[in-house]
Homo-oligomer: A and B are copies of this chain.
Amino acid sequence: MEILLAKRAGFCFGVKRATQMAFEAAEKDGETFTLGPIIHSPQVVQRLEGMGVKVLSDLEGIGNGTVIIRSHGVTSAELEDAVRRQLEVVDATCPFVKKAQEHVKRLSHDGYTVVVVGDADHPEVQGIVSYAEGPVHVVGSGEEAARLPNMKKVGVVAQTTQSFETLKNVVKECLLKGGEIRVFKTICDATAVRQDEAKALAREVDCMIVIGGFNSANTKRLAEVCSELQPRTHHIETAQELDASWFQGVERVGVTAGASTPKWLIDKVIERIQELDNKKKG
């Protein structure tokens, strides 16, 4: 059985940076926390927990130590809270997400009504939105944007993982709503490139394995797009979940992974697939 690994499987730039910063902080003395999971990988979070890094939902009762800001960012109120408590802050917010937050703050300050293209329930979007000082709307599609009120000056930013198509559809609607429309293309193309590669791979293989947190939106989406092209697509978090029956009659298996999946998890999956293949042969 041939195993084909997608070139862009696993960590994107922002996640790699955040994970490195978190492991470095974990090695230092003193208590260390993250506000929410550092990245959407339960296995990475577990490793950090093993090194004493606690995941908190808020800073209630915390008086000293280091707080690591996750790659998706946090709300401005949460960041201010950490500063007020005089905690040491390691800001591992993805620089692309940070840019989106800064654009929202600036647009809002300059009198623009802000439109964030994204998923209102995603922590990245909740962080970005919190930087608005005035009116702000979150829309997930052109149809949702069509329901926005008329606005004088509209400032548009996007969740970094949004598709260009959705941004385009929202901007089209915003052109109808306002006299000035200012768009910051805060989309990071890592998501699109990863999806395109995965699609190409899914077309070539008999079975597709997508590795990543079940809480990771980009991994779930990756598994979806692969499923459309290859019904034998499986979304797993770890090698333990692999099932020998999936590879019956399979000659080529494709492997890809979400942006928050570490290399060691991918390596283990490949190793395990090889083991299962050897058993099949023997």
Q: Which A residues form the contact surface with B (CB < 8 A)?
A: 164, 167-168, 171-172, 175-176, 178-185
* In the complex, residue of chain B having the shortest beta-carbon distance to the beta carbon of A180: B184
- A86-B175 Cα distance, complex, nearest whole Å: 42
Q: Give Cα A182–Cα B168 distance, bound, in whole angstroms.
A: 14
Chain B residues within an 8 Å CB radius of A185? 175, 178-181
Whether A168 and B179, one on each chain, are in contact in the complex, defined by CB atoms closer than 8 angstroms, is no
Q: Which residues of B contact A181 (CB under 8 A)?
A: 171, 182-183, 185
Q: How far is the CA of A172 from the CA of B179 in the complex (A)?
A: 17
Q: Which residues of B contact A182 (CB under 8 A)?
A: 180-183
- Residues of chain B with a CB closer than 8 A to A180's CB: 182-185
- Given contacts A179-B184, A180-B184, 5 further A-B pairs with CB under 8 A are A168-B175, A171-B175, A181-B185, A182-B182, A183-B183
Closest to A169 in B: B172
How far, in whole Å, are A164 and B176 apart by their CA atoms in the complex? 9
> B167, B175, B183, B184: which contacts A167 (Cβ < 8 A)?
B175
* Tally of this chain's copies: 2
Q: Closest chain B residue to A99 by CB distance?
A: B179
A44 CB to nearest chain B CB (Å): 31
**CA of A172 to CA of B178 in the docked complex: distance in angstroms?**
16
Nearest opposing residue in chain B for A174, CB measure: B183
- Rounded to whole angstroms, the CA-CA distance of A168 and B173 in the bound complex is 9
Q: What distance in Å separates the Cβ of A192 from its nearest Cβ neighbour in chain B?
A: 13
Query: How many Å lie between the Cα of A171 and that of B178 in the bound state?
Result: 14
Of chain B, the residue at the smallest CB distance from A173 is B168
A175 near B179 with CB under 8 A, answer no
In the assembled complex, which residues on chain B have CB atoms less than 8 Å from the CB atom of A179?
184-185
With the chains together, A168 CA to B185 CA distance in Å? 17
Smallest CB–CB gap between A244 and chain B, Å? 46
CA distance A132 to B4 in the complex (A): 53
Q: List 23 A-B contacts (CB under 8 A).
A: A164-B175, A167-B175, A168-B172, A168-B175, A171-B171, A171-B172, A171-B175, A171-B181, A172-B172, A175-B183, A175-B185, A178-B185, A179-B184, A179-B185, A180-B182, A180-B183, A180-B184, A180-B185, A181-B182, A181-B185, A182-B182, A182-B183, A183-B183
Min CB distance, A154 to chain B, in Å?
9
A183 vs B178: C-alpha distance in the bound complex, in angstroms?
10
